[in-house]
Amino acid sequence: MNYRQLGRSGLKVAPLAFGGNVFGWTADQSTSFTLLDAFVEAGFNLIDTADVYSQWVEGHSGGESETMIGKWLRQSGKRDDVIIATKVAKWSTHRGLAPDTIRAAAEDSLRRLGVETIDLYQAHEFDPDVPQAETLGAFARLIEEGKVRAIGASNFSAKQFSEALEVSSAHDLPRYESMQPEYSLMQREEYERDLQPLALREEVGVISYFALAAGFLSGKYRNPEDLEGRARGGMVEKYLNAHGLIVLRALDDVAARHDASPVQVALAWLMARPGITAPIASATSLKQFGELVAAAKLDLDDSDMQVLDRASSKA
């Protein structure tokens, strides 16, 4: 496995992260444990979750994913084999980035995960009501106490992230070592125009989400009938147009050259993009997980990348 540096944090991560939103939701305990064991055995190590996962599910209150990961850590004894990344700010129980909120949320996450230290603690979204110096100061105290190793930010604009870096420098506070934007073959412009130059210039790690555009890039959805009865049909529908079909055809062409699947190619493209440290992908079965393993082993050449770049560009 080719591990990559996550910003300047000192954390070394495999080039693909496991999205933990499925744990305790679409993956029950037995399935979650099986997938996590397979994840470690394959050489991967970064697990991304959040305190809010999976509050959106009827009958859930939030904290389910962290609780499931914590149970697995206790049973497996594999704490030293993984890097745990979680987030604060979006859960109604601990909403926003005020210092007291961050403190309470971190303590709760540590308890659910059953760990002494969160490896990467991320602001899940920007909080316009709290000065960034106060937020970063709260993170600093958690780092000083050994409860957090490094911090990152998710869903920040380039302007918000850049301002955070300036505050860190001006006040001698820990800086965000990672950003977590949406990025895929179907969603390129914002990251590539604004965030990629910032990440490369400041040596910030990038852990991108929605790597498969809500499943569209799997190639399963090619006409409106394919969306019927699908939970993510509404999220996928916006991609089902002339541009989306061009991207799918390019994925098919590159996949055929490598005896691979569209999923594998879409993820391999991401892992090869400038600045990307580890895109996030999920699986709810060992068959799906096998796709992730294969993607990490797939080397796309310059010709492959050019085909995909041209097809997915809206310029």
**246 near 311, Cβ under 8 Å?**
yes
Q: Is the pLDDT of residue 262 over 70?
A: yes
What is the rounded CA–CA span in Å between residue 251 and residue 266? 7
Q: 3, 53, 176, 191: which is the annotated catalytic residue? A: 53
- Closest among 4, 7, 5 to 179, alpha carbons compared: 7
pLDDT score recorded for residue 40: 98
| Token output for 121 | 């603690």
- Closest among 174, 107, 170 to 135, alpha carbons compared: 174
For the chain, what are the domain ranges? 4-180
pLDDT band at 232 (very low <50, low <70, confident <90, very high): low
What is the rounded CA–CA span in Å between residue 24 and residue 55? 11
pLDDT score recorded for residue 226: 80
pLDDT band at 230 (very low <50, low <70, confident <90, very high): low
CATH number of 4-180: 3.20.20.100
| Overall average pLDDT of the 240-262 stretch | 96
Q: Is the pLDDT of residue 148 over 90?
A: yes
Tens-digit pLDDT profile for residues 180-200: 999 999 999 999 999 999 999
In the annotation, is 53 catalytic? yes
Q: Is the pLDDT of residue 245 over 80?
A: yes
> Which of 56-70, 146-160, 215-229 is least confident?
215-229
DSSP 192: I
What is the rounded CA–CA span in Å between residue 23 and residue 129? 31
| Token output for 160 | 């918000």
Distance between the two ends of the chain, CA-based, in angstroms?
Answer: 35
